[in-house]
Amino acid sequence: MYALYLNMMRDRAERMDLLAISEDLKRLQDYVRGEQVEPYQDVSSSGFGDGNQTFYKAFRQGGPLEWYNPPSGLNLEDGNSFTGGIRKIPNRQEYMEQAGRDWDRFVGQTRRV
C-alpha cells in the first residue's frame, strides 16, 4: 500500500497530511500528475492576520491538492519530512501485527503488581 503525504501552504512546514492511498504505486503517481499544472501565482488571504499573500501553486485550482506544496518527486525515495511525497505503508494485516508486537513489548516491560 502506498500513501501520498503533502504539506499545506498555510500551515507548519513539518506537518504532513495524508491525502490519498493506493495499492498501486503507478496509480497514485498518475493521480498526482493529473492534478499538477504549470506553476502559477495566486494572491489570497494568508489566513494569518490581515492582508493578502502571494502563493506559488503547482496543482490545479479548485482541486483537492491546490493548497498543498508539491513533493520533491514521485518516487518512494524522493520525499522527506518537509517536502512530502509517496511512502510505502503497511497494509492492515502488517499494521495489526506490528501493533501486537508493540503492545507485547510495552506490556512485557511493565512491572506487574
Res 113: pLDDT:
87
Domain-embedded: residue 26: yes
Torsion sign over Cα 30, 61, 53, 15: negative
C-alpha cell at 28: 497514485
Domain-embedded: residue 16: yes
**Above 70 in pLDDT, residue 46?**
no
- What percent of the chain clears pLDDT 70, i.e. is strictly above it? 92
Domain-embedded: residue 43: no
CA–CA dist 8, 65 (Å, integer): 9
CB 4 within 8 A of CB 79: no
CA–CA dist 6, 109 (Å, integer): 36
Domain-embedded: residue 98: yes
Domain-embedded: residue 58: no
Burial 73-98 (b: 16+ CB within 10 A, else e): ebeeeebeeebbbbeeeeeeeeeeee
**Above 70 in pLDDT, residue 81?**
no
| Mean pLDDT, the chain, whole residue set | 88
CA nearest neighbour of 37 among 21, 20, 12, 56: 56
The domain total for the chain is 1
CA–CA dist 57, 55 (Å, integer): 6
Domain-embedded: residue 94: yes
The whole model's pTM is what? Answer: 0.78
Residue span of the structural domain in which 15 resides: 2-37+68-108
Res 102: pLDDT:
92
The arithmetic mean of pLDDT across residues 32-48, rounded, is 87
Domain-embedded: residue 27: yes
The better pLDDT of the pair 82, 102 is held by 102
Domain-embedded: residue 56: no
**Tens digit of each residue's pLDDT (9 = 90 or more) over 47-73:** 666 678 889 999 999 999 999 999 988
CB 57 within 8 A of CB 40: yes
